[in-house]
Amino acid sequence: MVFSSVLWAHGGAAGTDTDQCKFELEKDHWIHYTAYQPKAYPAEEFCGNLPDLNSTIQLVFDYQDQRYRNMAIEFEVTKEPEGKRVFFSEAKKHKSGTVVLNLPEGVAEEGKYLIHVTLLQDSGERLDAHMSFKAGAGQPTSKGTLGLYALVFFGGLYVFYLSNAGFKRKVDELLGKAKEL
């Protein structure tokens, strides 16, 4: 289990170089993003795919650059490709460097959404970044999990084969007939 990337935060990403949950605001200046669905999946973090619809979504943004903490930041979430606004948070400063946004009703429709992050500088300049996510695809079962289920199933079947003389006799007969074909 030590080698399973599912056990590592953000899919095994070792740092921001391979972290899929980040926005680049300017060259080499990042905001990290994590999504949660605390009612449906209380112990899991998400990035690009949110499994449930109509379930609370919590979006957490961490500035990875101190200078952004003195800038006002605004957030918007839109349904794509229509561009329909589903959430908006007016620009304000977040001195801690962490912003938590709650969408108490989540999103109603399955599909692609776009998070718009806009930093407003004192000069009036706007820094925009975008990151997309998909909602409503359900929690997929990984190939590793399916393989584990198959291993357990066939292991149990083999133990049953070895411990049940009647079942072993039937399987051996079927295998004998299959070899004759």
User: Within the chain, what is the greatest distance between any pair of CA atoms?
Assistant: 85
- Whether a cis peptide bond, with omega within 30° of 0, leads into 42 is no
Per-residue pLDDT of the chain (181 residues; tens, 9 = 90+): 444 444 444 444 344 455 678 878 788 888 888 999 998 888 888 888 889 888 889 999 988 788 888 889 999 999 999 999 999 999 999 888 899 999 998 898 999 999 999 988 888 888 888 888 899 876 544 455 667 777 888 888 888 888 888 888 888 888 888 888 7
Cα–Cα dist 114/153, whole Å: 41
- 24: tokens are 């680049």
Torsion of CA 33, 119, 103, 42, to 10 degrees: 20
Number of H helices, E strands in the chain: 2, 10
What is the reported pLDDT for 144?
59
* Domain extents in the chain: 5-135, 143-180
Phi, psi of 167 (to 5 degrees): -65, -40
- Distance between CA atoms of 135 and 10, rounded to whole angstroms? 18
Class of domain 5-135: mainly beta
**C-alpha to C-alpha distance for 99 and 92, rounded to whole angstroms:** 10
Closest by CA to 59, choosing from 4, 24, 21, is 21
pTM more than 0.75: no
